[in-house]
Amino acid sequence: MDPRPHSNRRGKNSKERKKASAALHEKLLLLRSLTMSRSQRENSIVLDAAKYIQELKQKVERLNQDLTTGESSRHRHGSWPEVLVEPLETGFLVNIYSAKNCPGLLVLILQVFDELGLDVMEARVSCADSFRLKAFGEEKDENGEIVDAEAVKLAVSDAIRKWSENNDGD
């Protein structure tokens, strides 16, 4: 029996082990940097990584709970449209947004503008998947009465409330 083929296998196995050991060491260093571990020992690095993974799982659970809570509170409030009215020199900029589609709301809001004596000079409206209205309205000179931003906001909010009461089933 020739001892050389056997010793050649040992040399090959030894090289493979060293290569595998170097790869494992490199992966442990990467794991150590990802988990911000300060440990030097392999066992400690793995334990720190396990703790880090557990912390990440807890964060994900908390975020999921926050999302669920946020969604349920949004459903309780019916995705109430947000209303913002900014006074301008000769009128108002009215911004209304809702995350859901609001069929019929645009007509009610335009009726409110007319009742307040506001002419819509320019408007951008989207009613597809959500409701968004950005309108610039000027006061009509017919009555000579001045309408303030708070009155516009109250009137629009009241129209939204009435619309919501009539559309609760949606």
Q: Which amino acid is at 34?
A: L
User: Does the pTM of the predicted model rise above 0.75?
Assistant: no
DSSP state of 140: -
What does the domain layout of the chain look like in residue ranges? 3-75, 82-166
Higher pLDDT among residues 160 and 73, named by residue: 160
Q: Which residues of 49-85 are buried (b: 16+ CB within 10 A; e: fewer)?
A: beeeeeeeeeeeeeeeeeeeeeeeeeeeeeeebebeb
SS3 144: coil
Q: How many angstroms separate the Cα of 67 from the Cα of each of 51, 78, 82, 88?
A: 24, 16, 20, 38
- The pLDDT value recorded for residue 74 is 47
Segment 146-152 mean pLDDT: 81
Could you give the CA distance from residue 108 to residue 85 in angstroms, rounded to a whole number?
Answer: 16
- pLDDT tens sequence across 75-93: 444 557 889 988 887 778 8
Q: How confident is the model at residue 7 (pLDDT cuts 50, 70, 90)?
A: low
CATH superfamily, region 82-166: ACT domain (3.30.70.260)
The angle at the Cα of 76, spanning 72 to 81, to the nearest 5 degrees, equals 110
Segment 103-122 mean pLDDT: 88
Segment 90-100 mean pLDDT: 86
